[in-house]
Structure 1
Amino acid sequence: MNVSERISRLRALMAEKKIDAYVVPTADFHQSEYVGEHFKARKFITGFSGSYGTAVITMDDAGLWTDGRYFFQATNQLKGSGVRLMKMFVGDTPTVTEYLADVIPENGTVAFDGRVLSMEEGQEYEEALAPKHIRLSYSEDLIGLVWEDRPPLSDKPAFFLEEKYSGESAASKLSRVRDVMKENKATVHAIASLDDVCWLLNLRGDDIDFFPLLLSYAIVRMDGVDLYVDDRKLDAHIHEELAKVNVSIHPYNDIYRDIKSLDASETILIDPMKMNYALFKNISCSIVTASNPTILMKAMKNPVELENIKAAHIKDGVAVTKFMHWVKTRYDKEPITELSSAAKLTEFRSEQEGYIRDSFEPLCAYADHAAMMHYSPCEETDVELKEGALFLNDTGGGYYEGSTDITRTFVLGSVDGQMKKYFTAVVRAMMNLSRAKFLYGCYGYNLDVLARGPIWDLDLDFQCGTGHGVGYLANVHEPPTGFRWYVVPSKNEHHKLE
């Protein structure tokens, strides 16, 4: 089936179930930014493969909301699909909730799989759609009914991250989390975000391409932890380590039943942006909301992690220097394409001791493709490197000593004056930010103008953040650290000092 045929089948199910609009977010059951193959429902129903976006299908319209990183890519991938590109944060483009509130009739129904929508988003839908008495149906996985050859959930093995890499035991981390629970007068804490569960218990997995994370949930109690995971992924060593901190293993999907059966006397701490809507709706005990304590804890790297990360960057620098030499000395002597160059860079990284995998899909973009933020080459778009253009490399390596995420732009041969001007503006921007001195209490959005200034001076802008935190063998985009000129609450950016 092509995209239009898939949408037709989806609309037939919607008509059968009297659904006026069906919402398909990007996330998995854990609000992950990047997801495994099983969860790429939005890509399946629209054809758009970017890492960020939400599709809304009505009986006579279809829209794909995404941000400036993906405008070029989405325009190309949506051609002929019948899906409109809705450019977020541009002009008078309505938000998803504004659109739904406008087009759905009184007493209509909006449906989605509540496991892939965050609690906070679900509550926004409730508030926005209540004036028209629009019903939310959050137990409808209609994509699963259309997607006949849907890939299964990953069953790849997990591994334990030893303390010589993590720098802190799970026991110590749990103690710190329980202190925050006490401050919030919570008796239990549910964690649904993969990087937070993995960081807390020093676990890593292979359930999402490039991201060494493990599909799992955790309920932290004062005397133990309930871990919800496919037990087949855990070896004897992991079981031994988890037993030391009183972790009980439960089937992955039992989290919904168990959170529903929590005693009414319990008080549960949850993060509205890091828990799915369906899981939230299953809670019947008292709730206190706050950011997951682990978000700031894992963002503040300990001394062991800091030394390891330096070692990882030295290894990565060796690999990238070899790659730079390889490209510069061979591109005009033998055929090198975006895809073959990405494979060569991965080869150089894999030669380094402690290499696990690339930390995200390599973004190797030549000439016009370099203007498409987050462009990743494929067989259909792959082009050969030639003289007279820029070659962008946004790539990273995952090592036991940590993860890297670096962007380098190579000039191939002679380029025109415009390219030189823009290249130089970016150099000035990076120099400005890297040399900045700032007072305690500054945020990324206080400092972003230092980098963006030379670009704004040219009456130009770039439709993305300037920089972000990087997880230690986890999500390569790690909040709350970030440089951008506006606040993005969905990235857990903080408005006050913690």
Structure 2
Amino acid sequence: MTEVAKRIEKLRALMAEQNIDAYVVPTADFHQSEYVGEHFKARKFITGFSGSYGTAVIAKDDAGLWTDGRYFTQALTEMEGSGVRLMKMFVDDTPSTTEWLAEKIPEGGKVAFDGRVLSMGEGQEYEEVLGAKNITIEYEVDLIDQIWEDRPTLSKKPCFFLEDKYTGENVASKLKRVREKMAEYGATVHLIASLDDNAWLLNFRGDDIDFFPLVLDYVIVRKDSVDLYIDDSKLNDRIREEMAKNNVNIHPYNDIYEDAKKIGADEVALIDPMKMNYALYKSLPCKVVEGANPTILMKAIKNAVEIENIKNAELKDSIALTKFIYWVKKNYDKMEITELSASDKLTALRAEQEGYIRDSFEPLQAFGEHAAMMHYAPSKETDVVLKEGGMLLSDTGGGYYEGSTDITRTTVLGHITPELKKYYTAVYRAMQHLSAANFLYGNHGWSLDVLARQPIWDMNKDFQCGTGHGFGYLGSIHEPPTGFRWYIVPSKNEHHQFEPGMVITDEPGIYEEGDFGIRIENNLLTVNGEKNKYGQFMHFETLNFVPIDLDGIDPEELTRSEKEWLNDYHKACYEKVGPYLTDEEREWLKEYTRAI
């Protein structure tokens, strides 16, 4: 019996003691974060699956893990021997967790979960669907904590303040804008539980989640004051000074639940059902009005200072990644380079850049068949050596005081087959078509996604994930409210039209299980174009300047416009990055940015 299977056995014993028919274990922390600190990795603990997205449901005699296409291969590998079945979300007739439970649990049964790690919206869905079958919901039960003997403690790492030269807007201005939106909703208080929203609003960052400069906290915005719930040992004098200046009162982190119960019955609370946990929602005694956190759209539209800073960060990142590709190509056949040593090398090159803080997410360095797993990250157990005839997929990013990056390059080592070149070229074409889009104001990600998918659909292939996502400024690397995908997923909260100042990734790919994976990703800035009698046209400006490996491109597969775009992009790469390279690196870059 595997270690995970033993844990499930212990969990089922506790369930039997409390007459629980099924126990739900989501990915999230108390703040509905996509990526969580070690203390909150309960779903990984009980299934073995380490991906960033998924929900486990453990029943008396069955267990399932719901996740999307990015993680199918990885989940099957990591959960082998656990007794947990993979439930492929958005594929064929796979039932949702609530549908599965409604079918599996007998009438009058009981489903339990820790309501602090389930969103309000999800909790309400459980109420509706399971309530129809007279199934009881118990939401104040943390069974995982009872069997996780060496569970990591909550982070105690310090916070730091982000000055106006980086944010472009002070705390007072942001609070004023939020209160104006509250007034539109008729709200007198606004509860914000999402960490990236609070970090943006109060202009400080932390270190409570690996790679993400965020801190565990809750915020209640009132008409004339703010309540901040946080471990105050993390706050330095600069942060305390700013909080005092803006009438922000500091309270212990866990006091939020009791204080929420004390909100007056005559108050009206604005809450985001996708960004608040179910237990906190159930604590509220007052009238609530539901709506997206106003901060979501505010922080997604970068101001002029942020945009200039991001461009500087992207240039620094492009220098580091270009140096990395040069190093890999020049040395893979002269010294032993593995996925892990390659990852360490790239992090070291980023660290040489001024203003670097940390990588913006866990580096994904995947060679050969590992690249077929979209979110594969190497470990000591899986690490392999780079070899001739394969491809290294590097999906990585840097976090700088001037912003965050998220970029992927697939590097060819030596010679690859004509078939692989055909696929590589198709992925480039897909990325280029979206980068070059010219569209009218009012378009959403789901109306533009087909531009990237078409070259890959033409080959009767697809990549089972979105094509791109917004990314935060030292916040969450996956930032709503927009993204590229051909279908709408409400939980992704990607529903807003493109606005000038939004930044987004463009990252199509082709993945063949057990064989290879190819992804090429650029970062884009949304800008206004020509305005005429037809309306306001818009387009994207590419922010990063890293060469696309010409060793993978078949020029015969490209149209004239696809060649021209690539040649213009490579010319910009050489002009912007070249001055920061050594003579040898610059000579290599000149060759790899040549016109085709």
- What's the TM-score once normalised by structure 2's chain length? 0.83
Paired with 1:111 and 1:314, the residues of 2 have a C-alpha distance of 49
* Counterpart residue number, 2:370: 369
How far apart in 2 are the matches of 1:467 and 1:99?
Answer: 30
CA contact (8 A) 2:482 2:497 kept: no
Alpha-carbon separation, structure 1, partners of 2:495 and 2:315: 31
Instruction: Give the equivalent residue in structure 2 for 1:224.
Output: 225
- 1:487 deviates by 1.1
Q: Deviations over 1:433-465 (max 9, x none)?
A: 111100000001110000000000000000111
What are the equivalent positions in structure 2 for 1:417-436 lying under 5 Å apart?
A: 417-436=418-437
Shift of 1:102: 0.2
Task: Give the Cα–Cα distance (whole angstroms) in 1 for the partners of residues 245 and 169 of structure 2.
Answer: 14
1:253 is matched with which residue? 254
SS where residue 465 of structure 1 aligns?
A: coil
**One-letter code aligned to 1:77:** E
CA contact (8 A) 2:481 2:496 kept: no
Gaps of 5+ in 2: 500-596
Shift of 1:58: 0.6
Give the structure 1 partner of residue 580 of structure 2.
none
State the distance in 2 between where 1:339 and 1:155 align.
28
* Secondary structure of residue in 2 paired with 1:407: strand
Which amino acid in structure 2 is aligned with residue 364 of structure 1? Q
Per the TM alignment, residue 17 of structure 1 is displaced from its structure 2 partner at its CA by 0.3
Counterpart residue type for residue 415 of structure 2: S
The 5-angstrom pairing of residues 245-284 of structure 1 reads 245-284=246-285
> For residue 278 of structure 2, what is the amino acid of its counterpart?
Y
Q: String of CA shifts for 1:12-54, please: whole Å, max 9, x gaps.
A: 0000000000000000000000000000000000000000000
Question: Deviation digits for residues 118-150 of structure 1, max 9, x if unmatched?
Answer: 000000011111121001000000000000000
Aligned to 2:457: 456
Q: CA deviation at 1:174?
A: 0.2
* Cα distance in 1 for residues equivalent to 2:51 and 2:366: 15
Q: Is the partner of 2:487 in helix, strand or coil?
A: coil
Give the distance between the partners of 2:355 and 2:283, measured in 1 at CA: 42
Instruction: Give the length in aligned residue pairs.
Output: 498
Partner of 2:5 in structure 1? 4
In structure 2, the residue matched to 1:170 is 171
Deviation at 1:93, TM superposition (A): 1.1
**Structure 1 residue 389: Cα displacement:** 1.2
Residue type of the alignment partner of 2:22: A
1:298 alignment partner, SS class: helix
Q: Secondary structure of 1:438's match?
A: strand
Instruction: Report deviation, 1:497.
Output: 8.8
Structure 2 counterpart SS, 1:287? strand
Cα deviation, 1:341-384, whole Å, max 9, x if unaligned, reads 00000000000000000000000000101111011000111000
Whole-angstrom distance in 2 between the partners of 1:92 and 1:446: 25
Tell me the residue number matched to 1:478: 479
Matches within 5 A, 1:255-334: 255-334=256-335
Q: Give the match's secondary structure for 1:110.
A: strand
What SS does structure 2 have at the residue aligned with 1:42?
Answer: helix
1:382 aligns with 2:383: yes
- Residues 441-494 of structure 1 show CA distances to partners (whole Å, capped at 9, x for unaligned) of 000111000000000000000011111111000000001121110112112222
Asked if 1 retains the 8 angstrom alpha-carbon contact of 2:444 and 2:497, the reply is: no
Letter of the structure 2 residue corresponding to residue 456 of structure 1: W
What is the DSSP-based 3-state SS (H/G/I as helix, E as strand, rest coil) of the residue aligned with 1:426?
A: helix
Distance 1:131 1:200 in 2: 40
- In the alignment, which residue of structure 2 is the partner of 1:34? 35
Residue 258 of structure 1 and its aligned partner are, at CA, apart by 0.5
Alignment-mate amino acid for residue 94 of structure 2? T
Structure 1 residue 496, shift from structure 2 partner: 7.1
Provide, for residues 318-346 of structure 1, a one-character-per-residue CA deviation record: whole Å limited to 9, x for no partner: 10011011000000000000000000000
Task: Give, in angstroms, the shift of residue 495 of structure 1.
Answer: 6.1
Match of 2:351 in 1: 350
Matched, 1:159 2:153: no
CA displacement, residues 52-100 of structure 1 (integer Å, 9 cap, x when unaligned) = 0000001101111110000010010111111111111111111100000
For residues 8 and 494 of structure 1, the distance between their equivalents in structure 2, rounded to whole angstroms, comes to: 41
| Map of 1:242 onto structure 2 | 243
In structure 2, the residue corresponding to 1:122 is in which secondary structure?
Answer: helix
Instruction: Look up the match of 1:115.
Output: 116
Q: By how many angstroms is 1:197 displaced?
A: 0.5
Residue pair 2:358, 2:400 contacting (<8 A) in 1 also:
yes
> Aligned residue for 2:134?
133
Q: Contact 2:482–2:493 at 8 Å: present in 1 too?
A: no
CA deviations 1:227-278 (Å, max 9, x no partner) are: 0000000011110011111000000000000011101110000000000000
- In the TM superposition, what whole-angstrom CA distance separates every residue of 1:382-408 from its partner, at most 9, and x where no partner exists? 000001011100000000000000010
Structure 1 residue aligned with 2:73: 72
Amino acid at match of 2:176: S
Q: Which residue number in structure 2 is paired with residue 185 of structure 1? A: 186
CA contact (8 A) 2:205 2:215 kept: yes
**Partners of 1:387 and 1:494 in 2: CA distance:** 43
In the alignment, residue 282 of structure 2 is paired with which amino acid? K
User: What secondary structure is seen at the aligned counterpart in 2 of 1:352?
Assistant: coil
Q: Secondary structure at the match of 1:262?
A: coil
| 1:391 maps to 2:418 | no
AA aligned to 2:287 is S
Which residue pairs with 1:488 in the alignment? Answer: 489
Give the distance between the partners of 1:379 and 1:90, measured in 2 at CA: 32
What secondary structure is seen at the aligned counterpart in 1 of 2:336?
coil
Q: Which amino acid aligns with 1:410?
A: T
Q: 2:440 is paired with a residue of what secondary structure?
A: coil
Which amino acid counterpart does residue 417 of structure 1 have in structure 2? P
* Equivalent pair of 2:343/2:363 in contact (CA under 8 Å): yes
Letter in 2 for 1:405: D
CA contact (8 A) 2:359 2:398 kept: yes
1: distance between equivalents of 2:114 and 2:347? Answer: 36
CA contact (8 A) 2:482 2:498 kept: no
Which whole-Å CA distance do the structure 1 matches of 2:192 and 2:271 have between them? 7
CA distance in 2, matches of 1:417, 1:57: 46
* Corresponding residue SS for 2:132: helix
Q: Could you say if the C-alpha distance between residues 24 and 352 of structure 1 is closer, same or farther in structure 2, counting changes exceeding 3 Å?
A: same
* Residue 497 to residue 436, structure 1, CA distance change in 2 (3 Å): closer
2:314 maps to amino acid: H
Residues in 1 aligned to 2:242 and 2:496: alpha-carbon distance in whole angstroms? 37
1:401 is matched with: 402
How far does the alpha carbon of each residue in 1:261-299 deviate from its partner, in whole angstroms, 9 at most, with x for none? 101110000000000000000001010000000000000
| Distance 1:331-1:102 versus aligned 2 partners, 3 A rule | same
Q: Quick one: which amino acid aligns to residue 8 of structure 1?
A: E
Contact 2:472 2:479 (8 Å CA) reproduced: yes
Structure 2 equivalent of residue 142 of structure 1: 143
Matches of 1:496 and 1:386, distance apart in 2: 44
- Give the whole-Å Cα distance in 1 for the aligned partners of 2:279 and 2:365: 38
The AA in structure 1 aligned to 2:208 is: D
- Counterpart of 2:112 in structure 1: which amino acid? A
3-state DSSP of counterpart to 2:180: helix
1:164-185: CA deviation from partner (whole Å, max 9, x where unpaired): 0010000000000000000000
Distance 1:398 1:5 in 2: 39
> 3-state DSSP class of the match of 1:33?
coil
Q: Secondary structure at the match of 2:399?
A: strand
